[in-house]
Amino acid sequence: MRADRSDDALDTLFQPFADGLLRWPEQGGALFLRARDGIGLRQRPRPGLVCEQGFKPDVDALHRAGLDTVDLDALDPQQRYPLVLVLPPRQREEARALYAQALARTAPGGRVVACLRNDEGARTGEADLGLIAGPVASLSKRKCRAFWTAPLQGPADPALAEAWAGADAPREILDGRYLSRPGVFAWDRVDPASALLVRHLPADLRGRAADLGAGYGYLAMELLARCPGIVALDLYEAQSRALALARANLARTPTAATLEFFWHDVTAGLERRYDVIVSNPPFHAQGREERPDIGRRFIAVAAQALHPGGRLWLVANRHLPYEAELDRTFGEVRTVAQQGGFKIVEAIRQAGRA
């Protein structure tokens, strides 16, 4: 989301301040969990603002706006703020853990203010915050709901807040085969599109490889298991939480290949060159809106990053319009399979293309 575009949830988060219902703290600053840059944030000065975000495109946008970001784990555990702002994620366990974190970071007498789109669970989010924080007030605008606590002296239900604090903790899934956590894409299962791609990966893939949008590491693990000719594998992932899981999962995978992990927005391009790229590219950003432009950009970046003769193995929903970009950037493109609403594509980079 660019700062010159409207972000309805972000704008509505700051609406209580614009309407005079809430005041920005004069001292002590504010912590903004899952912060995003945009018009609502920039409308007026926000002194003492501390931003937390783990999604690399949003982090980069905040940095371009001159705002620093922090990792919550790196903050002083005793640090408390008179105001904690939250843009909760859609996944409920992850959101509940974030509400618990927000309360734990709120100074005595401080407030938590959150906002969600109506179609992303606003009423549920408001009710959940109320369960651990006590009565909340709210306003609705732009098909979103902002809701906030009364001045707090700790959680209204300490036991529930403590339980929710671990609601999105990493855990083993699928009989211990993988480590994952709520909020990561397809967190509690093997994504069927990725599984279909794995079933069609040829064993002769070799050389230096990259996985674009690696998630918790399933596709990378299977690539190494099925293709002994892979000598190095770089994993690129925009969500820091997912990348940490991929690191942990790959550490449990026997391989002689050299592994590197990059917290990176693939759409910004890659600096390295590869013989093989595999990808199940995202076609949403952080909301419900379908974004085929992201997948098209992944394809263009893959073409630029492959050596001549290099191979892209891609899975996507069948309806997504990627064929024109594949034809434009690759010399040879073939549909390997179509099944269950997905398509598997192999594209080979020719000299002089992309």
C-alpha 55/C-alpha 58 separation (Å) is: 6
Which one is predicted more confidently, 237 or 318? 237
CB 311 within 8 A of CB 330: no
pLDDT > 60? residue 3 = no
Residues 289-302 pLDDT 10s: 778 899 999 999 99
pLDDT > 50? residue 1 = no
Domains 8-165 and 171-348 share a fold: yes
Mean pLDDT of the chain: 93
CATH topology of domain 8-165: Rossmann fold (3.40.50)
310 SS3 class: strand
Q: Provide the whole-model pTM.
A: 0.93
Residues 105-136 pLDDT 10s: 999 999 999 999 999 999 999 999 999 999 99
| pLDDT-above-70 percentage for the chain | 96
Contacts of 159 (CB under 8 A, 6+ apart): none
For 276: left if phi > 0, alpha if psi spans -120 to 50, otherwise beta; the answer is: beta
For 86-102, letters b (16+ CB in 10 Å) and e give: bbbbbbbbbbbbbbbbb
Domain range summary for the chain, segments of one domain joined by + = 8-165, 171-348
CATH topology of domain 171-348: Rossmann fold (3.40.50)
Q: Confidence class of residue 286 from pLDDT cuts 50, 70 and 90? A: low
